[in-house]
Amino acid sequence: MIFEYALTYISRQYMNRNLQVHSSFIPSDYRTPPEKPLMLYIHIPFCEELCPYCSFYKVPFEKSLAEQYYESLFREIEHWSQRGYIFDSVYIGGGTPTVLPGRLADLVALVKKLWPIKDISVETNPNHLVPQYMDPIKDSGINRLSVGVQTFDDSLLKKLKRYHKYGSGEEIARKLSDLQGTFDTLNIDMMFNFPDQTDAMLEYDLSVLNRLQGDQVTYYPLMPSRSVKAEIRSLYGEVDYKKEKRFYGKIVQSLEGHYDRASAWCFSRKGGMIDEYIVDYNEYVGCGAGAFTYINGEIRANVFSIKEYIEKMNKNQSPLAAGRAYTVADQVRYDFLMGFFSGYLNLTILKKRYGSLSTVYLTLQFIFMRIAGGITVEGKLFRLTEKGMYYLVILMREFFTGVNNVRQHCNIIDRD
């Protein structure tokens, strides 16, 4: 575990430093949109009930506030069209984007009117897998659905405070089974390494997943970012990274015969709807309260307060709260992380994007990965070994935790 602990420590320091954003940041202009289509991420921060372990930006659902929020979102989305940006893929995440299915259908109609969209992915929860929610969603043209399950074990679902709201593991499995074939991709979000999750609980989850033979499974390691760390410790206990490694090994071993590995923690039978918008495209735009954008080598964060977001959009002001311009070295390292998430890195692409000397910025990373047995080299292609896949889980865990820490930090700036 020496390399694993070292990697956790180094990447935590690195993410804390490099993901910081500043409210004094002034973005470069929007007048030169990239020629190629980008990914559009849209954040719907409302949930009917909040889960105690969840570190994403979300608030309790209030219908009238959510209605106003949608109007503001429509405005922000139209601004990107007026700036000449083109998107071909949309990821609507949350929170729970399906809380208002009618408004969600309006949102989908708008993006389809503005751009030639190929794929629209939406996140949801098991209580919305019923005709009242699913019919308008299917009719709108959403073709990829991601359902948050976390576990099929009833005792764990109770501890996660999801049983009373989303039903038993068996009920959820039945709904997922009934839904198969309805969407191009049906993804199941699972989580592992809860302190009181036992080997038997994990094995049960894996057996249900293998029985279901769904299109895709995304298996997140528990990420205890600052906002939920104390809650996780008091409700479930201390997070154990040795167990994380062991559980990850079990997950890979069990799912591998049934699914292909689309990324370090995404297992697919259909080529992949990779969990987070940041992975598929090296640049993306985020709309909505608390959404992040990465363009022109700059990371930009929208305001978190929903009321402030609505006010700004009503006044036709920018919703931007903070940001940071990355150096070329930062951009190369960011692409390194995202490239490797899918299992390999092509140096030719990096050099084409940032110049022939750009790989100098990765010297330490390559040395570490080679010594730790994380990569093999095939010409200009760096491929992750089995060990390397787990190193990537660590890096991505620290990256997502870092992003969620920034979210919390921005939330505090907003409230000041």
Site residues (CB under 6 A) for ligand SAM? 47, 53-56, 94, 96, 123, 125, 148, 150, 189, 191, 220, 222-223, 228
Amino acid at residue number 134? M
Residue number with CB closer to ligand SAM (148 or 167): 148
- State the minimum distance, in angstroms, from the CB of residue 172 to ligand SAM: 12
- State the minimum distance, in angstroms, from the CB of residue 251 to ligand SF4: 19
Q: How many CB atoms lie within 10 A of CB 58?
A: 18
Would you state the structure tokens that stand for residue 51, as one six-digit string?
């889960």
DSSP string covering 160-201, please?
Answer: TT-HHHH--HHHHHHHHHHHTTSSSEEEEEEEE--TT--HHH
Residue number with CB closer to ligand SF4 (163 or 382): 163
**Partner in contact with 43, chosen from ligand SAM, ligand SF4, none, beta carbon below 5 to 8 Å by kind:** none
CB-based contacts of 397, cutoff 8 Å, min separation 6:
221, 223
Q: Shortest CA distance to 397 belongs to which of 264, 212, 298?
A: 264
Q: How many CB atoms lie within 10 A of CB 226?
A: 13
Residue number with CB closer to ligand SAM (150 or 365): 150
Give, for 324, the enclosing helix (H) or strand (E). Answer: strand 320-325
Residue number with CB closer to ligand SAM (236 or 281): 236
Residue nearest to ligand SF4 (CB): 54
**Partner in contact with 101, chosen from ligand SAM, ligand SF4, none, beta carbon below 5 to 8 Å by kind:** none
Distance between CA atoms of residues 142 and 16, nearest Å: 36
**Partner in contact with 222, chosen from ligand SF4, ligand SAM, none, beta carbon below 5 to 8 Å by kind:** ligand SAM
**Partner in contact with 153, chosen from ligand SF4, ligand SAM, none, beta carbon below 5 to 8 Å by kind:** none
Q: How many CB atoms lie within 10 A of CB 352?
A: 11
Give, for 365, the enclosing helix (H) or strand (E). Answer: helix 363-371
**Partner in contact with 50, chosen from ligand SF4, ligand SAM, none, beta carbon below 5 to 8 Å by kind:** ligand SF4
Residue number with CB closer to ligand SAM (125 or 185): 125
Angle at 396 between CA 395 and CA 402, to 5 degrees: 90
Q: Are 373 and 385 in contact (CB under 8 A)?
A: yes
- State the minimum distance, in angstroms, from the CB of residue 185 to ligand SF4: 19
Binding site for ligand SF4 (CB under 6 A): 47, 50-51, 54, 56, 58, 94-96, 125, 148
Interstrand relation of 38-44 and 119-124 (parallel, antiparallel or unpaired): unpaired
- State the minimum distance, in angstroms, from the CB of residue 323 to ligand SF4: 24
Residue number with CB closer to ligand SF4 (51 or 142): 51
Would you state the structure tokens that stand for residue 54, as one six-digit string?
């969840």
- State the minimum distance, in angstroms, from the CB of residue 357 to ligand SF4: 42
Residue number with CB closer to ligand SF4 (128 or 300): 128
- State the minimum distance, in angstroms, from the CB of residue 299 to ligand SAM: 20
- State the minimum distance, in angstroms, from the CB of residue 254 to ligand SF4: 24
